[in-house]
Amino acid sequence: MKPQRKRRPRTLVAGSAIVSGALLLTACGSNGSSRPSGAAPMAASPTTTGAGGVTCGKAATVPASGSTAQEFAMQFWIKNYMRACPGTRINYEGNGSGAGQTDFLNGRTAFAGSDAALSATQITQSRSVCSNGGRAVHLPMLGGPIAIAYNLPGVSKLILDAPTLAKVFDSQITKWNDPAIAKLNPGTKLPSTSIKASHRSDSSGTTDNFTSYLSAAAPGAWRHGHNKEWQAKGGQSAKGSSGLAEQVKKTAGAIGYVELSYAIARNIPSVAIATGATAPVDASVFTASKAIAGAEVAGADGDLVLRLDYATKAPGAYPIALVTYEIVCDKGNRPATWSATKAFLTYLAGAKGQEDLSFQGYATLPATIVDKVRSKIDSLS
């Protein structure tokens, strides 16, 4: 079952959208330069109360970039936050998780949006951006299903499983009427159309999560592990979630992986996944939330990196899900913009920021995780 949307977000330009005109956020590097390692400890952040009781930090313009998976959520968040706190402007560029991580680690942004965690090497690199002995930490802020969108005229319902998906995206299954697909779809007339598997051309947390699912649920069929960069040969590519969704939409025989919100916005059907449960599971915010409910905190030293169970067989749990993080310094954030950044992050994790995300195509995080995020934000400096 697909969620009903109160209003459909405007389509974003792939890989280069500056969300909502101005999205204010600046923490660990507002002017494109690295923070001096010997910066003095910052004073407590001044705050005021805006419309609706929203806490507003000191007025500033905050740059951020990264995940295209969270662009629709960012549109929603920024519009509402800037209405409550008009002195703050938040500039969020949806350029992909990999580019967002790079921007943050080079001191160009206050925080990064990413659907994949930083590596140990990147965490070490972050110490040169975060002053006072700080390092980057991950704040899980929202979840969502990765829909397997397809364009197959005449086929309105399609079921696939992890081994079959692995072979489709690895160019081992190349026709839509392949016996492996037909076996999963008895009674469905499948055409002999060639399969045009589509993947992201840019460094993408969505790619990392999708290939993590294939690795966990079909280890015998998927030979490429997981990575933000696409590793398998063949197929066609497109930049950003928007670009990939457009490619599937216009190409007969295409199949690709995009966040559910992008499939909904373009009215593209998505695959139901046979997980080994009693019935195949459709992609929805509700089924993804059920899968994400089993996530465990895997980060060390108070970091909130989550471990998802991609191989879940729980009834009604959609296994191809992701969690998007906001990556920020645990201490040593830039004084000029930290007050505004912290206030914005507090809003995102608060009841007002979280309450209507299902209408944007996103899944809720477990309450125990959200409580940890709120506590972590309070401790940041």
Q: In this predicted structure, what is the pLDDT of residue 290?
A: 94
**91-148 per-position pLDDT tens digit:** 999 999 999 999 999 999 999 999 999 999 999 999 999 999 999 999 999 999 999 9
**Domain assignment of residue 90, yes or no:** yes
Mean pLDDT for all residues in the chain:
87
**Domain assignment of residue 74, yes or no:** yes
Q: Residue 41 pLDDT more than 70?
A: no
Q: In this predicted structure, what is the pLDDT of residue 52?
A: 66
**Domain assignment of residue 79, yes or no:** yes
User: Does 33 share its domain with 21?
Assistant: yes
Q: Residue 28 pLDDT more than 60?
A: no
Instruction: For residue 276, give its domain range.
Output: 146-291
Q: In this predicted structure, what is the pLDDT of residue 357?
A: 78
**Residue 193: CATH number of its domain:** 3.40.190.10
User: Does 375 share its domain with 287?
Assistant: no
Q: Closest Cα partner for 236 from 200, 184, 281, 275?
A: 200
User: Does 265 share its domain with 330?
Assistant: no
Phi first, then psi: give them for residue 289, nearest 5 degrees.
-60, -40
Q: Residue 15 pLDDT more than 50?
A: no
Q: Work out how many domains the chain is built from and give that number.
A: 2
User: Does 185 share its domain with 287?
Assistant: yes
User: Does 177 share its domain with 134?
Assistant: no
**49-82 per-position pLDDT tens digit:** 765 678 898 999 999 999 999 988 998 999 999 9
β-bridge mates for residue 57, sequence order:
47
**137-195 per-position pLDDT tens digit:** 999 999 999 999 999 999 999 999 999 999 999 999 999 999 999 999 999 999 999 99
**204-240 per-position pLDDT tens digit:** 999 999 999 999 999 999 999 999 999 999 999 999 9
